[in-house]
Amino acid sequence: MSDQGVRKEHTHREIMIILGGLMTGLLLAALDQTIVSTALKNIVEDFNGLNHYTWVVTAYLLTSTASTPLYGKISDLYGRRIVFQFAIVTFLIGSFLAGASTSMTQLIAFRGLQGLGAGGLMALTFVIIGDIVPPRERGRYQGYFGAVWGLSSVAGPLLGGFFSDSGQILGVTGWRWIFYINLPFGIASLIITSAVLHIPKIKREHSIDYLGAVLMVAAVTSLLFAVSVFGPEDGWQDQHTLISGGAGLLLVAIFLACESRAKEPIIPLALFKNHTFSLTSGLGAVIGAGMFGAIVMIPLYMQVVKGYGATEAGLKLIPLMLGIVSTSIFSGKAISKTGKYKRFPILGTAIMSLGILAMASLEADSPYWQLAIFAVTVGVGLGLSMQTIVIALQNAVDFKDMGIATSSNTFFRSLGSVFGTALFGSILTNRLSHYIEAGFKDLSAKNPGALAGFDANQLAGISNNTSGISKLPPAIQTTIIDSFVNSFHVVFLVAAPVTLIGFFLALFLREAPLRTNEDYRAAREESAGEALG
């Protein structure tokens, strides 16, 4: 089949075959956003790095975020399939090296390489679906992608927990298999995409905005260091924090100035004149922050506070998955049937905010059924929101802008995930130190005998390694567990208003009629004519 020109609409069977290849690649990228969540506790205990544990997630999100807008344009130049497969290979190299890491620094660096490949898998999946399916029909297919995210949100933590709890497998430390397991699946994805991912290519000549990409990465990295490293460790008024934060803001200003003059900017600022693009960018950022706040923090709560093993923590996240999967499929089919989509992000962000707020009521002795109800509530909210905003966006932009608009939306969702994970991790470690100090002062005043013969130096490593908590005397254990509980309360109380911002944004979303097959064919042919002319 020729890669050039415009062909007839794909049949449902053809779309489902292509969907299989895309979902395999997306599952890899989505799994590795979540698979480390239950294994993090064991990983950081091996490397003594609890104070930087969120960077194992953040490094992955940062590079996938920064590369996402580039993939849309590069795939316009070289074709969707070859660029999609390049992303898979990059992801697999990063996976192998991450599994072979011997220090926290190496692990974070190789997770960044993984993320570089994952950015392409996540961005191009939705670009390709946008290429071949009209908006009115897209809901029935994108519901499956919502199900992939839902599956990964629990299968990831469950697999991570299983490998982490396994000690050694074939002579290799268990948690390293969370990276090595990607290799056979990645190879299978390469084979599937080679066989089925044959879609028409409308060649557009582009110049790649590499300067914009470098400035964006530098700006985001500087701001991340300010909010997640220097601020919590050195103080918010320390010179390192101020310099890093100031440099980040300056780089943002330079980035915007360069983007406004660039021939083909990495993120075209003109897109922000589109009301739907601006709103869905904000919604994506909020949803990303809420999703990763839940996926990273809930397993840590279950393992540290409740004492669950990593595998058990993964299993107990199943309600979150059920919420995401069921409502993703439901909302997708409802949109295709009715053509109405605005109600779903409004309901979704409201429900997600309530679920996260309810998490702040969890105590050390809270029963699991209570956590399960809160988790399924968050999942329902995510499932109603995630794919709906992509449908709204793709329906509102010109066909020629489909790739960059979709990848930009993925970029903003990932950006929300990056800063959400970093912010919530910083709050947790900051508040933990505060509550431990206050808790021991209170314990000393109320029960001085509880500290008799206790070496306070044992507490020094708690902020980096939680494995020693179970070996402490009961009264001291209780004090530390209560400190974790109080810290998690603060995290969820901060996260709920963040996701509530999404509710107010969704209220202003304009509901335009979803384009049908006829509308979509005309737009595609017009776009092809412009490109070939």
Q: Which of 92-101, 378-387, 421-430 has the lowest mean pLDDT?
A: 421-430
> In the prediction, which pLDDT does 321 show?
78
Mean pLDDT of the 86-111 span: 89
pLDDT band at 53 (very low <50, low <70, confident <90, very high): low
Pairing between strand 168-169 and 172-173?
A: antiparallel
Q: Are 6 and 524 in contact (CB under 8 A)?
A: yes
pTM: 0.72
Inter-residue contact 52 to 105 (CB < 8 Å): no
At 16 the pLDDT is 75
Mean pLDDT of the chain: 78
Least-confidence region, from 131-140, 291-300, 431-440? 131-140
Rounded to an integer, what distance in angstroms lies between the CA atom of residue 82 and that of residue 41? 37
* Residue 350 confidence (pLDDT) above 90: yes
Task: Label residue 454 by pLDDT band (50, 70, 90).
Answer: low
Q: Is the pLDDT of residue 76 over 60?
A: yes
Quickly state the pLDDT bin for 5 (edges 50, 70, 90): very low
The DSSP code sequence of 6-20 is: --PPPPHHHHHHHHH
Q: What is the pLDDT, as a whole number, of residue 455?
A: 61
Residue pLDDT, tens place only, 182-216: 888 888 878 877 777 666 555 555 567 778 878 88
Quick one: pLDDT band at residue 346, thresholds 50, 70, 90?
Answer: very high
Each domain of the chain, given as residue ranges in start order, spans 12-209+262-439+479-532, 210-261
The tokens for 517 are: 């097959």
- Helix (H), strand (E) at residue 206: none
The pLDDT score that the predictor gives to residue 3 is 41
Residue-wise pLDDT for 225-249, tens only, equals 787 667 766 667 788 888 988 998 9
**pLDDT over 80 at 260, yes or no:** yes
pLDDT band at 349 (very low <50, low <70, confident <90, very high): very high
Q: Mean pLDDT throughout 404-423?
A: 78
Query: Which SS3 state, helix, strand or coil, does residue 57 take?
Result: helix
CATH number of 12-209+262-439+479-532: 1.20.1250.20
For residue 80, give Cα distances in angstroms to 198, 200, 364: 9, 9, 49
**For residue 527, what pLDDT is reported?**
46
Q: Give the containing element (helix H, strand E) for 173.
A: strand 172-173
Whether 254 shows a pLDDT value over 90: the answer reads yes
Other C-beta atoms closer than 10 Å to the C-beta of 111 total: 28
pLDDT tens per residue across span 488-498: 999 999 888 88
Distance CA 358, CA 189 (A): 39
| Averaged pLDDT, 501-529 | 68
Percent of the chain with pLDDT over 70: 80
Q: How confident is the model at residue 139 (pLDDT cuts 50, 70, 90)?
A: low
Would you say residue 72 has pLDDT above 50?
A: yes
Low-confidence winner among 91-95, 377-381, 384-388, 520-524 (lowest mean pLDDT): 520-524
Average of pLDDT values for 271-277?
A: 86
Per-residue pLDDT tens over the stretch 315-343: 887 888 788 878 888 887 888 788 788 88
pLDDT, position 530: 43
Q: Average pLDDT, stretch 408-421?
A: 79
Q: Which helix (H) or strand (E) holds 464?
A: none
Predicted pLDDT at 2: 38
Task: Give the mean pLDDT of 471-482.
Answer: 82
**What DSSP string runs through 506-527?**
HHT---PPPP-HHHHHHHHHHH
Q: In sequence order, what DSSP letters do the residues of 282-320 get, joined into one string?
A: HHHHHHHHHHHHHHHHHHHHHHHTS---HHHHHHTTHHH
